[in-house]
C-alpha cells in the first residue's frame, strides 16, 4: 500500500510539473506571436510613407496603410491623383501625394530670366531669384549635374524636406524634375543670407557709446584671446596667467601702433609741449628757492 501511494504521489507530481511547463510555454508562444504581429503592423505603417516606383515609370505611389480601407474616399482620391511624383511635363504646378507642388521647367526658366538671376552658388548647385507670374518670389536651387544623386534619392529628399519644418530653416515649397534637372524651390529670404547676419563689422558689435573711438586691430586680438577661452576642449583653454600676459601684449602692441601712426607734426608738437612743461617746472623750482 505504501508503494502504491508513493507511486501515485510521484506520478501526480510529475504530471503537475509537466502541465505547468506546458502552460508557461503556451503563454510565451502567444505573447511572442502577438509581439511579432505588432512589429509587423508598425513596419507596415512606416512602409506606407516610403515612395515606390510603379510599372517602371518615374512616378511613385504610397502603399496604403491599414487605416485606408478600399471604400475610403482618401484611397479613391489618391488613385485618381496617382499620376503622382515626378511625372513629366504634362501637368503644371501639380500637387503630388506628398503635398509638395510641382513646377514646370518652362515656368521656372521664365521666372528666373533663363536662369540669369544668380544670388548664390555652392558645392551642391546654384541658387536663383525667381519672380513667378502669381507675384511670389522664390529661391530656386538647381542641383549640380555632377551629383551622383539618382531619381529615387531625389524623390526621397523632396519628401523629407517637405515634412521638415523649423523656425530656423527655410521651408521647401516646390520642386521640378524635367529635362534632366533636379530643382528645389524655397522661400526667398528678403533680409539676406544667414552669413550676412553672422559676419558683421565691429561697428555693429562694440558699444555705441564709444562713438567709433576704438582700435580694430586691438579688438581682433582681444577677440582671438576670448575665442581660445571658450574652446570646447578644456585642455586648449589658456590659464588666467596666459590670458593676462596675452592682454598685456595686446595693449603694448596697440600703444606701439598708435605711436607709429602719429604724424611728424604731432610728434614735434608733443616734444615741444614736453619741453615747455619742463621749462615751467624748472621756473617754479627757481621761484621756490
Q: Is residue 279 part of a domain?
A: no
Q: Count Cβ atoms within 10 A of the Cβ of residue 203 and give its class: 0-12 exposed, 13-18 middle, 19 or more buried.
A: exposed
The domain that holds 108 is classified in CATH as 3.30.200.20
Map residue 172 onto helix, strand or coil: strand
Name residue, grid cell 500500500: 1
What is residue 108's predicted lDDT score, i.e. its pLDDT? 92
How many angstroms separate the CA atoms of 99 and 40, rounded?
27
Q: Is residue 245 part of a domain?
A: yes
Bridge partners (DSSP) of residue 113 are none
Beta strands across the sheet bearing 137-143: 118-122, 125-131, 137-143, 181-187, 172-178
For 95, the grid coordinates are 500637387
The whole domain housing 22 covers: 6-47
Report the run of H or E that residue 53 belongs to, with start and end.
strand 52-53
Q: Is residue 56 part of a domain?
A: no
Q: Is residue 104 part of a domain?
A: yes
Q: How far, rounded to the nearest angstrom, does the alpha carbon of residue 144 sit from its chain's CA centroid?
A: 20
Q: Is residue 174 part of a domain?
A: yes
Q: Are 225 and 247 within one domain?
A: yes
Q: Is residue 20 part of a domain?
A: yes
For 183, the grid coordinates are 530643382
Q: Is residue 287 part of a domain?
A: no
Report the run of H or E that residue 193 belongs to, with start and end.
none
Q: Are 124 and 160 within one domain?
A: yes
Q: Is 258 annotated as ligand-binding?
A: no
Q: Is residue 73 part of a domain?
A: no
What is residue 268's predicted lDDT score, i.e. its pLDDT? 53
Q: Are 89 and 169 within one domain?
A: yes
**What's the pTM value of the predicted model, to 2 decimals?**
0.37
**Domains of the chain: total:** 3
How many angstroms separate the CA atoms of 44 and 33, rounded?
17
Instruction: Return the CA Rg of the chain.
Output: 39
Q: Are 183 and 223 within one domain?
A: no
Q: Are 110 and 163 within one domain?
A: yes
pLDDT tens-digit profile, the chain (289 residues): 455 578 788 888 888 889 889 989 988 988 888 888 777 665 555 444 444 333 333 433 333 333 343 444 443 444 443 334 444 434 445 555 467 888 989 999 999 999 999 988 776 788 899 999 888 899 998 887 766 666 777 777 788 777 777 666 778 888 888 888 888 888 887 766 555 555 556 666 777 777 777 777 888 888 888 888 888 888 888 888 888 888 899 888 888 887 777 655 554 555 455 455 555 444 444 344 4
First CA to last CA distance, the chain: 144
What is residue 41's predicted lDDT score, i.e. its pLDDT? 63
Amino acid at each position: 500500500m505504501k508503494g502504491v501511494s508513493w507511486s501515485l504521489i510521484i506520478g501526480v507530481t510529475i504530471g503537475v510539473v509537466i502541465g505547468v511547463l506546458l502552460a508557461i510555454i503556451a503563454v510565451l508562444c502567444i505573447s511572442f506571436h502577438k509581439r511579432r504581429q505588432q512589429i509587423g503592423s508598425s513596419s507596415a505603417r512606416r512602409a506606407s510613407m516610403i515612395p515606390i516606383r510603379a510599372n517602371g515609370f518615374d512616378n511613385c505611389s504610397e502603399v496604403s496603410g491599414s487605416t485606408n480601407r478600399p471604400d475610403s474616399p482618401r484611397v479613391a482620391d489618391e488613385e485618381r491623383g496617382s499620376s503622382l511624383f515626378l511625372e513629366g511635363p504634362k501637368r503644371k504646378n501639380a500637387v503630388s501625394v506628398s503635398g509638395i507642388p510641382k513646377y514646370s521647367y518652362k515656368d521656372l526658366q521664365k521666372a528666373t530670366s533663363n536662369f540669369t538671376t544668380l544670388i548664390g552658388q555652392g558645392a551642391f548647385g546654384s541658387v536663383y531669384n525667381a519672380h513667378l507670374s502669381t507675384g511670389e518670389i522664390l529661391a530656386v536651387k538647381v542641383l549640380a549635374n555632377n551629383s551622383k544623386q539618382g531619381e529615387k534619392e531625389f524623390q526621397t529628399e523632396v519628401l523629407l524636406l517637405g515634412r521638415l519644418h523649423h523656425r530656423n530653416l527655410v521651408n521647401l515649397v516646390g520642386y521640378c524634375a524635367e529635362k534632366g534637372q533636379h530643382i528645389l524651390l524655397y522661400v526667398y529670404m528678403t533680409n539676406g543670407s544667414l552669413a550676412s547676419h553672422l559676419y558683421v563689422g565691429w561697428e555693429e558689435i562694440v558699444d555705441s557709446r564709444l562713438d567709433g573711438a576704438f582700435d580694430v586691430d586691438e579688438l581682433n586680438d582681444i577677440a582671438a584671446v576670448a575665442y581660445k577661452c571658450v574652446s570646447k576642449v578644456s585642455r586648449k583653454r589658456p590659464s588666467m596667467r596666459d590670458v593676462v600676459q596675452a592682454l598685456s601684449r595686446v595693449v603694448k602692441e596697440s600703444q606701439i601702433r598708435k605711436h607709429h601712426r602719429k604724424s611728424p607734426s604731432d610728434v614735434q608738437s608733443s616734444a615741444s609741449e614736453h619741453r615747455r612743461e619742463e621749462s615751467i617746472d624748472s621756473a617754479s623750482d627757481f621761484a621756490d628757492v
